[in-house]
């Protein structure tokens, strides 16, 4: 614990509910000194710990709780897509509506500037498909037009863009990816999963068959602006710590520049994409590297694709399209080698896996790695872990594998998942209650920008399992209560990031990271949780200024 600045004085907060996410759950007051929590308990005890030279703040009935920890985000991608055209279902419920929005946007851009859009969800459009290049050409033929699927796992590009990136009938499908084609082999504009490597230019980031390439290049000043936009989104939501779930040199350079300029207000833990595993091992970067503000956490891997792009791997095919099986990024033996080498070096792994087959492949690999070289407390995780079987949940518990879930996904996209994988299978999407009953730590997150980072909306979705259309997925055994969900977005998420000794709860000695809410989330009706405002966000004992935009 670092010494507080010489000119700092203790600050006591009281006068409203204080939820610690520890024992006891509720306290009367909390005292901070410098960047740390000095005491949490009765007001009398907090005043005694603070001494006479102190400041007292009245919460005026508002609720103070630990800052939220978002265990799976893509901050730079969030900021980047916030500068793109919004083509979510509200804006683009059909392909003609999409083209109209693109056409209008094209006339507002300077000549030659690429037109990029985000949020299109083909599962809920009138046509139930992605737009094709010829359709995008109606919007613009004088510039690249790229529409990223809401999942981030690829999208559609116009004819100009196909030519710009050299995608032709002779371009082979890369491992772990797919180029959409007409019957004669010509590309039709779809570029999915690992094929996204083709969109980053000759000098851009390349990750091969290690994931969807979300790393579209920007100049350093533009990237800095986009990161600042993302930071404000997190701060407005009361999020004080995040895990960046896919880091390449693009992200690292942007973070380092922001930290050097003292413009990195959120604590960032980085999962480096597995394409860079060999480089990390050659450099000997096999332990946690960094500080409380910016640190390398481990390795990010991909097993299969996404539900949003219908590329999650189903050997038997999708209910909506039996000929579509999705993608595996790696053959099981190759994936096992990546997990084995990461584990042997002491690197935590976090693997994206959605289908039962892909989840099973991850569990197989972790079990094998642990058998070969037992390591305690690795906390290997399965990111998303959308549709595990009951057997797989039991195996995760026995192998101490942590599923990292996003309840907002079943809220926003549950109806689309039911349409594509089948309504019966979709009932078990994100089985949070089964994790808790099996003794697995609950860990919640957003996967921003797939959904916006709104922890209380996530908590509500974890409790009621209700989609935006009012469908309730599964039975009550899949739900969790409000307190369990709140812990999943605070101390549970901190645990997944190996940061529970510093953040995630309000206890003496921990970092003074907390949020002040307009109401007590433990006391409002469940349907009102997502309407609770975050009025203040504090990080390291300082209230952080938050912009309105």
To the question of pTM greater than 0.85 for the whole model, the response is yes
Q: How far apart are the first and last CA of the chain?
A: 35
C-alpha–C-alpha distance, residues 136 and 161, integer Å: 10
Average pLDDT over residues 474-488: 98
Query: What average pLDDT does the structure give for the chain?
Result: 97
CATH architecture of the domain with range 89-149+153-209: Roll (3.10)
Closest CA to 101 of 82, 84, 114, 87: 87
CA angle 417, 389, 325 (to 5 degrees): 50
Number of CB atoms found within 10 A of residue 262's CB? 8
- What pLDDT, on a 0 to 100 scale, did the predictor assign at position 2? 53
Residue 514 β-bridge partners: 66, 538
Q: Which residues contact 339 (CB under 8 A, 6 or more apart)?
A: 301, 349, 351, 362, 365, 366, 368, 369, 380
Average pLDDT over residues 149-158: 97
Query: Does residue 84 surpass a pLDDT of 80?
Result: yes
Please state, for a pLDDT cut of 90, what percent of the chain lies above it. 97
Closest CA to 50 of 10, 14, 7, 3: 10
For the chain, where do the domains classified as CATH 3.10.310.70 start and end? 89-149+153-209
Cβ atoms of 87 and 147 within 8 Å: the answer is: yes
The pLDDT tens digits of the residues spanning 12-28 come to: 999 999 999 999 999 99
The pLDDT tens digits of the residues spanning 225-249 come to: 999 999 999 999 999 999 999 999 9
- What pLDDT, on a 0 to 100 scale, did the predictor assign at position 312? 98
Q: What is the dihedral of CA 32, 38, 42, 45, to 10 degrees?
A: -120
Q: Write 100-103 long-range contacts (CB < 8 A, 24+).
A: 102/136, 102/139, 102/140, 102/145, 102/147, 103/138, 103/139, 103/140
- What pLDDT, on a 0 to 100 scale, did the predictor assign at position 156? 98
Going by the DSSP 8-state scheme, the letter that residue 500 receives in this structure is T
- What pLDDT, on a 0 to 100 scale, did the predictor assign at position 549? 61
Closest CA to 302 of 177, 448, 121: 177
Q: Which residues contact 67 (CB under 8 A, 6 or more apart)?
A: 238, 239, 240, 241, 490, 503, 513, 514, 515, 537, 538, 539
Closest CA to 352 of 314, 303, 294: 303
Average pLDDT over residues 513-530: 98
Q: Which pLDDT band, with edges at 50, 70 and 90, does 288 fall under?
A: confident
Cα separations in angstroms, 433 against 92, 260, 272, 464, 505: 34, 42, 30, 11, 22
Query: Does residue 191 surpass a pLDDT of 80?
Result: yes
Q: Which pLDDT band, with edges at 50, 70 and 90, does 1 fall under?
A: very low
Residue 349 three-state SS: strand
The pLDDT tens digits of the residues spanning 295-334 come to: 999 999 999 999 999 999 999 999 999 999 999 999 999 9
Average pLDDT over residues 469-479: 97
Cβ atoms of 95 and 127 within 8 Å: the answer is: yes
C-alpha–C-alpha distance, residues 320 and 303, integer Å: 22
C-alpha–C-alpha distance, residues 151 and 517, integer Å: 30
Fold of 220-508: TIM Barrel (3.20.20)
Query: Does residue 53 surpass a pLDDT of 50?
Result: yes
Query: Does residue 4 surpass a pLDDT of 80?
Result: no
Going by the DSSP 8-state scheme, the letter that residue 227 receives in this structure is H
The pLDDT tens digits of the residues spanning 87-134 come to: 999 999 999 999 999 999 999 999 999 999 999 999 999 999 999 999
Closest CA to 459 of 519, 419, 513: 519
Closest CA to 38 of 28, 26, 48: 48
Q: Which residues contact 147 (CB under 8 A, 6 or more apart)?
A: 87, 98, 102, 116, 117, 118, 120, 130, 131, 136, 155, 156, 157
For the chain, where do the domains classified as CATH 3.20.20.140 start and end? 220-508
Residue 351 three-state SS: strand
Average pLDDT over residues 351-379: 98
Query: Does residue 433 surpass a pLDDT of 50?
Result: yes
């Amino acid at each position: 614990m670092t010494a507080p600045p010489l000119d700092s004085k203790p600050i006591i907060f009281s006068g409203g509910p204080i939820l610690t996410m520890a024992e006891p759950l509720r306290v009367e007051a909390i005292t901070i000194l410098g960047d740390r929590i000095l005491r949490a308990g009765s007001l009398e005890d907090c005043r005694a710990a603070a001494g006479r030279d102190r400041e007292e703040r009245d919460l005026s009935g508002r609720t103070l709780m630990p800052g939220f920890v978002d265990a799976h985000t893509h901050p730079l991608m969030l900021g980047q897509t916030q500068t793109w055209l919004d083509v979510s279902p509200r804006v683009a419920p059909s392909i003609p509506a999409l083209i109209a929005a693109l056409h209008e946007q094209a006339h507002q851009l300077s000549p030659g500037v690429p037109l990029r859009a985000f949020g299109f969800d083909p599962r809920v459009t009138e046509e139930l498909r992605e737009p094709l290049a010829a359709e995008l050409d109606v919007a613009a033929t004088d510039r690249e037009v790229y529409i990223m699927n809401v999942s981030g796992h690829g999208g559609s590009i116009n004819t100009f863009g196909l030519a710009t990136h050299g995608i032709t009938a002779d371009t082979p499908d890369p491992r772990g990816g797919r180029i959409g084609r007409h019957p004669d082999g010509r590309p039709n504009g779809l570029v999915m999963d690992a094929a996204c490597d083709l969109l980053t230019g000759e000098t851009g980031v390349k990750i091969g068959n290690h994931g969807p390439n979300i790393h579209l290049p920007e100049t350093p000043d533009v990237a800095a602006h986009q990161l600042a936009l993302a930071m404000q989104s997190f701060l407005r939501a009361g999020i004080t710590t995040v895990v960046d779930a896919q880091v390449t040199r693009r992200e690292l350079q942007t973070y380092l520049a922001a930290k050097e300029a003292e413009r990195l207000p959120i604590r960032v833990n980085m999962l480096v994409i597995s394409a860079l595993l060999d480089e990390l091992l050659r450099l000997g970067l096999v332990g946690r590297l960094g500080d409380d503000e910016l640190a390398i956490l481990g390795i990010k891997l991909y097993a299969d694709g996404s539900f949003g792009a219908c590329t999650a791997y189903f050997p038997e095919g999708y209910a909506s399209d039996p000929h579509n099986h999705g993608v595996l990024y790696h053959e099981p033996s190759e994936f096992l080698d990546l997990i084995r080498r990461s584990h042997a070096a002491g690197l935590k792994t976090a693997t994206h896996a959605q289908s039962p087959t892909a989840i099973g492949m991850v569990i197989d690999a972790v079990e094998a790695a642990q058998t070969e070289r037992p390591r305690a407390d690795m906390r290997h995780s399965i990111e998303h872990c959308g549709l595990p079987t009951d057997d797989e949940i039991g195996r995760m518990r026995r192998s101490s594998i942590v599923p990292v879930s996003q309840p907002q996904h079943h809220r926003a996209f549950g109806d689309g998942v039911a349409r594509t994988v089948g309504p019966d299978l979709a009932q078990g999407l994100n089985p949070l209650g089964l994790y808790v009953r099996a003794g697995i730590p609950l860990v919640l997150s957003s996967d921003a920008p797939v959904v916006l980072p709104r922890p209380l909306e996530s908590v509500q979705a974890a409790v009621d399992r209700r989609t935006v259309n009012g469908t309730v997925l599964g039975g009550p055994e899949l739900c969790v209560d409000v307190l369990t969900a709140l812990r999943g977005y605070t101390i549970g998420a901190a645990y997944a990031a190996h940061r529970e000794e510093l953040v995630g709860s309000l206890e003496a000695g921990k970092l003074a990271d907390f949020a002040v809410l307009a109401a007590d989330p433990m006391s409002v009706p469940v349907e009102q949780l997502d309407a609770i405002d975050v009025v203040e966000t504090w990080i390291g004992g300082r209230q952080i200024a938050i912009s309105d935009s």
